[in-house]
Amino acid sequence: MRKDLLGIADLTPEEIYRVLDTADAMREIGEREIKKVPTLRGKTVVNLFYEPSTRTRTSFEIAEKRLSADTLNIAVAASSVLKGETLSDTAMNIEAMAPDIIVIRHASSGACHLLSRICKSRIINAGDGMHEHPTQALLDAFTIRQHKKRIEGLKVVIVGDLLHSRVLRSNVLLLTMLGADVCVSGPPTLIPKGIERLGVSVKTDVDAAVRDADVIMMLRIQQERMQGAFFPSLREYFNVFGMTAARVRRAKPDVIIMHPGPMNRGVEIASDVADGPYSVILEQVANGVAVRMAVLYLLAGGVEDEAAA
Amino acid sequence: MKRLLRGGRVVDPVNGRDGVFDLLIEDGRIARVGVALKVENDTAIVDVPPGLVICPGLIDMHVHLREPGQEHKETVATGTAAAVAGGFTAVACMPNTSPINDNAGVTGYILGKAAEAKLSRVYPIGAVSRGQKGEQLADIAELRAAGCVAITDDGKPVATALLMRRALEYAGMFDMPVIEHCEEQTLKGDGVAHEGFQASALGLRGIPGEAESIMALRDIALAELTGGVVHIAHMSARQTLDAVRYGKARGARVTCEVTPHHFVLTDEMLGAPLAYDTNVKMNPPLREVADRDAMLAGLADGSVDAIATDHAPHHYDEKQVEFDQAPFGITGLETAVSLCFDRLIHTGVVTLPRLIELLSINPAQILRVPGGSLTEGAPADITILAPDLPVTVVASRMRSMSKNTPFDGWKLRGGVAATIVGGRTVFLNPACSELKV
Q: What is the pLDDT of residues B281-300, one digit of tens each?
A: 999 999 999 999 999 999 99
Q: Crossing angle for the helix pair B238-249 and B289-301, nearest 10 degrees?
A: 30
pLDDT of residue A244: 97
CATH dotted code for B58-367: 3.20.20.140
For the segment B390-415, what is each residue's pLDDT rounded down to a tens digit? 999 999 999 999 999 999 999 999 99
For A193, the 3-state DSSP assignment is: coil
CB contact at 8 A, B178 and B168: yes
In this structure, what DSSP letter does residue B276 have?
T
**Contact call for A111 and B322, based on CB within 8 A:** yes
For the segment A235-258, what is each residue's pLDDT rounded down to a tens digit? 999 999 999 999 999 999 999 999
Residues 6+ apart with CB under 8 A from B16: none
Cα separation of B273 and A260, whole Å? 32
**Which residues in chain B come in under a pLDDT of 70?**
none
Chain A residues close to B206, C-beta within 8 Å: 193
In this structure, what DSSP letter does residue B16 have?
T
Cα separation of B294 and B59, whole Å? 23
Q: What are phi and psi of A194, to 5 degrees?
A: 80, 15
Taking the Cβ of residue B397 and every Cβ of chain A, the question of whether any pair is shorter than 8 Å is answered with: no
The pLDDT of residue A12 is above 70: yes
CB contact at 8 A, B202 and A129: no
CB contact at 8 A, B133 and B100: no
* Helix and strand element counts for chain B (H, E): 14, 19
H-helix or E-strand spanning residue B249: helix B238-249
Cα separation of B267 and B195, whole Å? 9
pLDDT of residue A2: 75
**Contact call for B275 and A111, based on CB within 8 A:** no
Q: By percentage, how much of chain B surpasses pLDDT 70?
A: 100
The amino acid occupying position B345 is I
* Pairing status of strand A155-159 against strand A181-185: parallel
**Contact call for A195 and B321, based on CB within 8 A:** no
Nearest Cα neighbor of A134 from A234, A232, A1, A33 is A1
Cα separation of B188 and B211, whole Å? 6
* Pairing status of strand B53-56 against strand B2-12: parallel
pLDDT of residue A304: 44
Closest residue in B to A173 (Cα–Cα): B201
Taking the Cβ of residue A68 and every Cβ of chain B, the question of whether any pair is shorter than 8 Å is answered with: no
Taking the Cβ of residue A132 and every Cβ of chain B, the question of whether any pair is shorter than 8 Å is answered with: yes
Chain A residues close to B291, C-beta within 8 Å: none
pLDDT of residue A309: 44
Residue ranges of B 282-341 with Cβ closer than 8 A to chain A: 317, 320-325
Taking the Cβ of residue A194 and every Cβ of chain B, the question of whether any pair is shorter than 8 Å is answered with: yes
* Burial category of B49 from C-beta neighbours within 10 Å (exposed 0-12, middle 13-18, buried 19 and up): middle
Lowest mean pLDDT among A46-55, A98-107, B422-431: A46-55
Measuring CA to CA, how many Å separate A115 from each of A88, A104, A242, B11, B134?
7, 9, 37, 50, 39
**Contact call for A131 and B325, based on CB within 8 A:** no
Catalytic residue among B12, B60, B153, B310: B310
Q: Where are the domains of chain B?
A: 2-54+379-432, 58-367
pTM here?
A: 0.94
CATH architecture, range A134-284: 3-Layer(aba) Sandwich (3.40)
Please state, as a whole number, how many other Cβ atoms lie within 10 Å of the Cβ of residue B411.
Answer: 10
Please state, as a whole number, how many other Cβ atoms lie within 10 Å of the Cβ of residue B98.
Answer: 12
Taking the Cβ of residue B200 and every Cβ of chain A, the question of whether any pair is shorter than 8 Å is answered with: yes
For the segment A104-124, what is each residue's pLDDT rounded down to a tens digit? 999 999 999 999 999 999 999
Degrees (nearest 5) of the Cα angle B332, B337, B338?
95
Is the CATH number 3.40.50.1370 carried by domain A8-131+288-306? Answer: yes
Cα separation of B297 and B294, whole Å? 5
Mean pLDDT of chain A: 93
The pLDDT of residue A81 is above 90: no
Cα separation of B104 and B79, whole Å? 21
CB contact at 8 A, B176 and B152: no
- CA B417, B422, B423, B427 torsion: positive or negative? negative
Mean pLDDT of chain B: 97
Nearest Cα neighbor of B146 from B155, B138, B154 is B138
**Cross-strand partners of A102:** A46, A123
pLDDT of residue B40: 86
Cα separation of A106 and A111, whole Å? 6
Is the peptide bond prior to B68 cis by the omega test (within 30 degrees of 0)? yes
Lowest mean pLDDT among A209-213, A218-222, B95-99: A218-222
CB contact at 8 A, B188 and B206: no
In this structure, what DSSP letter does residue B82 have?
H
pLDDT band of A79, cuts 50, 70, 90: low
**Contact call for A194 and B197, based on CB within 8 A:** yes
**Contact call for B200 and A195, based on CB within 8 A:** yes
CATH architecture, range B2-54+379-432: Roll (2.30)
Of B195, B196, B202, the CB nearest to A131: B202
Closest residue in B to A130 (Cα–Cα): B203
pLDDT band of A171, cuts 50, 70, 90: very high
What is the least distance, in Å, from the CA of A150 to any CA of chain B?
A: 26
Find how far residue A125's CA is from the centre of its chain: 10
Q: Pick the residue of B202, B207, B287, B288 with the most A CBs within 10 A to test the interface with A by mutation.
A: B202
The pLDDT of residue A80 is above 60: no
Taking the Cβ of residue B202 and every Cβ of chain A, the question of whether any pair is shorter than 8 Å is answered with: yes
pLDDT band of A226, cuts 50, 70, 90: low
Cα separation of A223 and A230, whole Å? 10
Chain A residues close to B203, C-beta within 8 Å: 109-110, 128-132, 166, 169
For the segment B233-275, what is each residue's pLDDT rounded down to a tens digit? 999 999 999 999 999 999 999 999 999 999 999 999 999 999 9
DSSP B388-428: EEEEE--GGG-SSS----TTTT-EEEEEEEEEEETTEEEEE
Bigger pLDDT: A53 or A139?
Answer: A139
Where in chain A are all domains bearing CATH 3.40.50.1370? Answer: 8-131+288-306, 134-284
DSSP A233-267: -HHHHHHHH-B-HHHHTTS-TT-EEE--S---BTT
